[in-house]
Every structure is written in structure tokens, then in C-alpha cells.
Amino acid sequence: MGRTVYYVASSLDGFIATPDHSLDWLLTREVDDDGPMGITPFLAGVGAIVTGSATYEWVRAYQDAWDYTVPTWVLTHRELAPPPGADVRFARGDVRAVHAEMVAVAGERDRWIVGGGEVVGQFADAGLLDEVVIAYAPVTLGAGAPLLPRRLELRLTELARNGEFACARYDVVRPG
């Protein structure tokens, strides 16, 4: 069975966006999408996506669409319109139900939690987070959206350099 993976880019001080949701500190940097721990090989192994509504709305505005082809769950308490032609499903409440649906759809492929940090925290609270992959940008932001606002024990399994980024892969260590 695939794994539930938080794959994300972060500032060195643990923020994934500025307080006003800007990614200007991230998107201008040198990176090889096909390189070590790059987004292209990662996406090739992904069978389902889940995201919070703020991230979803940011990506939709940035892509002017929803470019991901695998089924996506958006967590929201609001009534949002699905993007034309994309398999986007809306859900709310306990993430365990969403996780079960993602497992059924993704099978052997991984499940990508895009963010934000609190959404990842909900999966971690339920014992459903398997892996964390972080591309650290060479910048500090001082404030912003938190990377993962929980206490979790992790085990480093891989390190790589990709362009300006220091990339690290961790297993989540489950208590006991």
C-alpha cells in the first residue's frame, strides 16, 4: 500500500508561506523539477491528493485552473465550485474518512498532503502521516504559515541537494 506523504517547501525557520500567503520567497529559486527529490518523480508516484482550502484556492489562482490529474480532496466548511474537468471532491470534518477514500483510490500509489501545516497535523493526530519530505529554501521569513505545528518524532532517511534547496526525507516515528 502507498504512503501518506507531506511533500512541501519550507523556509529555514519553518514557514511555508508568508503571513499574507505569498510564495515569492520560493518560486523565484533555482530548482530541477526532475532532479533529486524533485516534484516530477514525486508526482509520478502519487495517486491521490488532499489539501486545505487556502492552499487549494492559492494553487487554483496560480495555475488559473487545477492541473493535477489524480483525484483531489479539498477540506473546507464552505461550498466551493469544482474546477471544470478536474476530479476535485470537497470534504469536511474528520480526516480519517478522507484518508480511507484516498487509500481506496490510490492503492499502491502514495497519498500527497499538500498542506497547510494544520491539515497535516490533523492526519498526524490520527496516526495517518507516514512520511515528510521537505525542500528547505535558503531564507528565513520570521513569521507565516507554519510547516507542521505538532510535536512529532521523525527519522531522517534521505538527504539531497537540488538547486538552491536542501532536501530531506523523514519517516514519522509512531509512539511505541
Ligand X SMILES: NC(=O)c1ccc[n+]([C@@H]2O[C@H](COP(=O)([O-])OP(=O)(O)OC[C@H]3O[C@@H](n4cnc5c(N)ncnc54)[C@H](OP(=O)(O)O)[C@@H]3O)[C@@H](O)[C@H]2O)c1
Asked if 76 touches ligand X (CB under 6 A), the answer is yes
- Count of residues binding ligand X (CB under 6 A)? 27
Choices 32-40, 46-54, 150-158, 163-171; region in contact with ligand X by CB under 6 A:
46-54
Q: Which CB sits closer to ligand X, 38 or 116?
A: 116
Asked if 162 touches ligand X (CB under 6 A), the answer is no
Whether residue 125 contacts residue 20, with contact meaning beta carbons closer than 8 Å, is answered with no
Asked if 78 touches ligand X (CB under 6 A), the answer is yes
Asked if 151 touches ligand X (CB under 6 A), the answer is no
Q: State the Cα–Cα distance between residues 130 and 54, nearest whole angstrom.
A: 23
Q: Cβ contacts of residue 110 below 8 Å, gap of 6+?
A: 2, 3, 4, 5, 45, 46, 47
Convert residues 104-143 into a mask of x (bound to ligand X by CB under 6 A) and - (unbound): ----------xxxxxx--x---------------------
The one-letter code for the residue type at 38 is: G
Sheet strands (E) in 1-109: 4-10, 15-17, 46-52, 72-75, 88-91
Q: How far is the CB of 51 from ligand X (least distance, A)?
A: 6
Give the residue, chosen from 19, 93, 107, 149, that forms a contact with ligand X under the rule CB under 6 A: 93
What sign results for the dihedral spanned by CA atoms 103, 107, 110, 112? negative
The one-letter code for the residue type at 53 is: S
Would you tell me which residues interact with ligand X (CB under 6 A)?
8-9, 16-17, 21, 26, 51-55, 58, 75-78, 92-93, 95, 114-119, 122, 145
